[in-house]
Homo-oligomer: A and B are copies of this chain.
Amino acid sequence: MVQAKFLAVKQHILTKVDSGDWLEGHKLPSENQLAAVFSCSRMTARRALTELTEQGILQRFQGIGTFVASHKAQSSILLIRDIRQEIEERGHAYSVNILMQTERQVDRALAEWLFLNEGVSVFYSKLVHLEEGMPLQIEERYVLPSRAPHYLIQNFNQMTPHAYLCQVAPLATAEQTIEAILANEEQCALLQISTFEPCLQISRLTASSQGVVSFAKLLYPGTRFKLGGQLVFDN
C-alpha cells in the first residue's frame, strides 16, 4: 500500500478548504459523488469525511449533507473549578442572579454538541455570578434531563449548577475551547461593561462516565477575569 486512498481524499478536501475554494458553510459532494470522482468505494470516501469531521473541519447532517465547519486554530488544556468556591476562597462575597431555569428545545448546532436530535428538550439555565456585587460570569447551561432529572427544581442560590451536577453526575471528562470575543448588547448590560470590552468565552462540554451531561457557555469580562494555571509538557 503506497498511500492510503482515504488519505488522498482527505488531502483533496483539505486543499479545497485551505485554499478558500470551499468556504465556511460550503456544501461538499456527497459520499457517492466523492467515491465516483476518486474511483473508490463509498466506505473509503466516507472514512475521509468522518475523520475530517472528528477533526472539526467538516460538519455532517443525516439526510442533508456535509459542510465546511467554521474553523479556528486550536490547542491545549485546562482545569475546572467551581466559581462560587473560587470567589469565596478569595474571601469575597458570592452572589448569583438567576435569569432563567426552564425546559428548552435544542437547535441544530447544540444538538450536534450534545449528541441529540434537533428539537429534543433539554434543561436550560442562565445565571450571572457576582463577586462582591460585580458581575463576573454569565453562565448558560444546557443539561441532559436523563443525567439530572431534578435540575429544574434546584435552588442555585444554594449551590451552583456546576457543584450540583458534580454531585448527581460526577465529571469524568470535558472538552472546552477558550476564545476572546466581543459581548453583545444584552451581555454587556448583564456584565455591566461598556461595548467594545473584550470578553473571555469558554464553551465547555462535560461528561460523566455515563456520557454527555451538559454544555456550558461561560462569558467573563476581560477586565475582571484572568484564567490561571500550572502546566505540564509535551516534550
Q: Which residues of A contact B (CB under 8 A)?
A: 14, 18, 54, 72-81, 86-87, 90-92, 131-132, 136, 166, 170-182, 196-200, 204, 209, 220, 222-235
Q: Identify which of A54, A75, A170 gathers the most chain B CB atoms within 10 Å of its CB.
A: A75
Known contacts A177-B226, A178-B200, A235-B166, A136 near B74 by CB under 8 Å: no
Known contacts A78-B76, A79-B77, A136-B73, A176 near B231 by CB under 8 Å: yes
Q: Is the CB of A181 within 8 A of B234?
A: no
Q: With A and B bound together, what is the CA distance between A90 and B136 in angstroms?
A: 34
Q: Is the CB of B182 within 8 A of A74?
A: no
In the complex, what residues of B have CB within 8 A of residue A176's CB? 228-229, 231
A33 to chain B, nearest CB (A): 23
For this chain, the copies found in one complex come to 2
Q: Is the CB of A227 within 8 A of B75?
A: yes
Q: Is the CB of A200 within 8 A of B179?
A: yes
Q: Is the CB of B200 within 8 A of A230?
A: no
Known contacts A92-B18, A209-B18, A226 near B179 by CB under 8 Å: yes
Q: Is the CB of B180 within 8 A of A230?
A: no
In the complex, what residues of B have CB within 8 A of residue A170's CB? 235
Give the nearest-CB partner of A229 in chain B.
Answer: B77
Q: Is the CB of B232 within 8 A of A79?
A: yes
Of B75, B177, B223, the residue contacting A86 (CB under 8 A) is B75
In the complex, what residues of B have CB within 8 A of residue A226's CB? 72-74, 177-179
Q: Apart from A77-B230, A78-B227, A78-B230, what 18 extra A-B contacts exist at CB < 8 Å?
A: A72-B224, A72-B225, A74-B226, A75-B79, A75-B86, A77-B77, A79-B232, A80-B234, A81-B234, A171-B235, A173-B233, A174-B230, A175-B229, A179-B200, A179-B227, A180-B220, A182-B222, A198-B199
Q: With A and B bound together, what is the CA distance between A143 and B202 in angstroms?
A: 31
In the complex, what residues of B have CB within 8 A of residue A233's CB? 79-80, 171-174
